[in-house]
């Protein structure tokens, strides 16, 4: 019951009831990516994504980013989405997580060692 109410009233939990109905009645399935996100397009050209997990725009890979933003791309025309061996797999935004980049991580946690001293003494 609680998950049903979450689907009706909250947009940040995968998809709402309105989005689900719009997808069923007007959406034409365009494909999915390696993360499990599903992409849809309506007859009048609107495009949207149903996320497999938590809603986060950085979880859209480059191939589908160009498609959803109507950016002309060679890859989009083929719908093959093959990657080259030198391309890295897509990662979402890691800010705030343990995998985030911190400069000088080995020296002091979250502290940047400066080569100068500020003129204000505390």
The number of beta carbons lying within 10 Å of the beta carbon of residue 63 is: 19
| Contact between 23 and 7 (Cβ < 8 Å) | no
Mean pLDDT of the chain: 77
pLDDT value of position 48: 93
Name 47's bridge partners.
Answer: 41
pLDDT at 110 over 60: no
How much of the chain exceeds pLDDT 90, in percent? 16
pLDDT at 3 over 80: no
Do the domain assignments include residue 61? yes
pLDDT value of position 38: 93
Do the domain assignments include residue 32? yes
Distances (CA, A) of 15 to 32, 34, 36, 96: 16, 19, 14, 24
Do the domain assignments include residue 102? no
Do the domain assignments include residue 120? no
Do the domain assignments include residue 60? yes
**What is the Cα 121 distance to its own chain's centre?**
44
Q: Rounded to whole angstroms, how far apart are CA atoms 33 and 48?
A: 13
Handedness of CA 101, 106, 109, 113 (dihedral sign): negative
Report pLDDT digits (tens) over 7-51.
666 666 667 777 888 889 999 999 998 889 999 999 998 999 998
What's the structural domain count of the chain? 1
Report pLDDT digits (tens) over 70-84.
887 655 555 556 677
Task: Identify the domain containing residue 31 by its residue range.
Answer: 18-78
Do the domain assignments include residue 40? yes
| Contact between 104 and 115 (Cβ < 8 Å) | no
């Amino acid at each position: 019951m609680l998950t049903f109410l979450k689907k009706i009233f909250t947009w940040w939990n995968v998809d709402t009831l309105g989005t689900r109905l719009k997808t069923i009645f007007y959406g034409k399935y365009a494909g999915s990516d390696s993360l499990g996100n599903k992409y849809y397009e309506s007859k009048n050209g609107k495009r949207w994504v149903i996320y497999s997990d938590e809603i986060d725009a950085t979880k859209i890979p480059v191939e589908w980013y160009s498609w959803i933003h109507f950016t002309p791309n060679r890859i989009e025309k083929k719908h093959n989405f093959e990657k080259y061996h030198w391309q890295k797999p897509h990662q979402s935004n890691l800010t705030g997580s343990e995998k985030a980049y911190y400069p000088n991580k080995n020296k002091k946690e979250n502290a940047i060692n400066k080569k100068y001293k500020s003129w204000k003494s505390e």
